Amino acid sequence: MATVFLKNDNIKINVPVGTTMRSLAEKSGASMIFGCRVGDCGTCIAKVLEGMEYLSALNEKEEKLLQMIDSRESDVRFMCQCSVTDKDGNIVIEYI
């Protein structure tokens, strides 16, 4: 199982491959905010401090939203749009 650490809430949790970051945050009681839950609003923006390679690739919605907010940071993701892809990954997230 992959390990995800939600820095803002000091929550560390082991999750199976395929787990969405949204479901992980909601089930763990994290304080991460999700507005629309479908990649349109940008409220769940976060920095991936470690383990970007263990998350699913940017999708079209994320790319479009990143352009709209003019983010050039390569470590920024929208938590409603990504999921864990590697069972041995260590991922550290910080909500913005």
pLDDT at 40: 84
- For residue 64, the enclosing domain spans 2-95
| Domains of the chain: total | 1
pLDDT at 56: 97
CATH number at residue 43: 3.10.20.30
Residue 37 phi/psi, 5° resolution?
A: 70, 10
Mean pLDDT of 35-47: 89
How far is Cα of residue 90 from the mean position of the Cα atoms in its chain? 13
CA distance 77 to 82: 8
Q: What is the pTM of this model?
A: 0.92
Give the pLDDT confidence of 19-37 residue by residue, as tens digits: 999 999 999 999 999 998 8
- The answer, yes or no, to whether residue 41 has pLDDT greater than 90, is no
CA distance 40 to 30: 21
Give the pLDDT confidence of 48-80 residue by residue, as tens digits: 999 999 999 999 999 988 888 877 778 999 999
| Strand 76-78 to 45-50 pairing | antiparallel
